[in-house]
Amino acid sequence: MFDNLSDKLDKAFHILKGHGKITEVNVAETLKEVRRALLDADVNFKIAKDFTTKVKEKAIGQNVLTTLQPGQLLVKIVKDELTELMGGDVAGINLSGNPTVILMSGLQGSGKTTFSGKLANYLQTKKNKKPLLVACDIYRPAAIQQLYVVGDSIAVEVYSEPENKNPVEIAQNAIKHAKANGFNVVIVDTAGRLAVDEAMMTEISNVHKAIQPHETLFVVDSMTGQDAVNTAKAFNDRLNFDGVILTKLDGDTRGGAAISIKSVVNKPIKFVGTGEKMDAIDVFYPSRMAERILG
Ligand code: GDP
């Protein structure tokens, strides 16, 4: 799907570049191709339409047709607009607070536990922090076990209370434990379900209210297309989260999720997951993502 998008745009721009003199019809046709490619990559229809309208206005405003290399200018406009659509600049992570409390949210299978480990590893090795991982999944003992495996692999301590069925208490006790033991970042991994449901939302809202995290991050599988947007909206309505983590960008992924999520919830994408290993984490660069989408 991802290749599909860049391939299509390549083709469209190739057609455009092939014409000695570019006419308004050529531009309109290329933009139609851009829009179709965005739709194919699962970008929401309205967003894709608005996008091409904006690009067209810019192209007219900059007199694309009268310039020496109209194709290149149009490509630049499309790239710049895509970058803007995905947030423009790199969004940092708020590491204020001692400890900094980070709450992870998202559906089961989105990559929350894996990302919690990656973030702990990143903060430990790149930002000289002492993180504590917290297992707040009270339903699946295997999820707690998984966090221990992750923690072990990066030499980060994991806090859990397997007998306690109250995630609010577990999270609060973990923060106390962190304060008492010199941890300066607390990463709280929460229980996700396979689909959005009220019980999960109430539970994570309660944890959120009780611990007032410095950063609430929403983790989403970039392979889930339009569903990713609906899930992001549901979590944002309840948590008003601070940023998005786009996982599984190493797969047959669609750039569309990045574009649509940012447009719909207007929250920055902060990191991306690019594999199962603990070092497969990257800061999200909107411009690089635009380049990647366009090929
Ligand atoms: P959780 O249920 O949200 O905690 O999800 P997990 O962290 O257990 O991840 C679900 C599956 O996705 C696991 O098999 C992970 O190894 C895999 N996974 C997580 N992040 C990535 C990623 O960035 N790329 C790939 N290829 N797989 C990932």
pLDDT at 15: 66
Q: Are 245 and 218 in contact (CB under 8 A)?
A: yes
Q: Whose CA is nearest to atom 20 of ligand 1?
A: 111
To 10 degrees, the CA torsion angle through 30, 31, 35, 38? 70
3-state helix/strand/coil string of 217-262: EEEEEHHHHHHHHHHHHHHHHHHCCCEEEEECCCCCCCCHHHHHHH
- Ligand 1, CB cutoff 6 Å, lining residues: 106, 108-114, 192, 247-248, 250-251, 273-276, 280
Q: Whose CA is nearest to atom 6 of ligand 1?
A: 111
Quote the strand ranges of 16-154, DSSP E.
Answer: 100-105, 131-135
Per residue of the chain (295 residues), what is the pLDDT tens digit?
A: 444 455 665 666 666 666 555 677 777 877 888 888 788 777 888 888 999 999 888 888 877 767 766 677 777 888 899 899 888 888 889 999 999 999 999 999 999 999 999 999 999 999 999 999 999 998 888 999 999 999 999 999 999 999 999 999 999 999 999 999 999 999 999 998 888 899 999 999 999 999 999 999 999 998 887 788 899 999 999 999 999 999 999 877 667 788 889 888 999 999 999 999 999 999 999 988 887 776 5
**Would you list which residues are annotated within the binding site for GTP?**
106-113, 189-193, 247-250
Q: What is the pTM of this model?
A: 0.90
pLDDT at 203: 95
CA atoms of 89 and 269, how far apart (whole Å): 10
CA atoms of 101 and 94, how far apart (whole Å): 10
Ligand 1 pocket check: which of 107, 150, 158, 276 to mutate, most ligand atoms within 8 Å of Cβ?
Answer: 276
Number of residues that make up the chain: 295
pLDDT at 282: 95
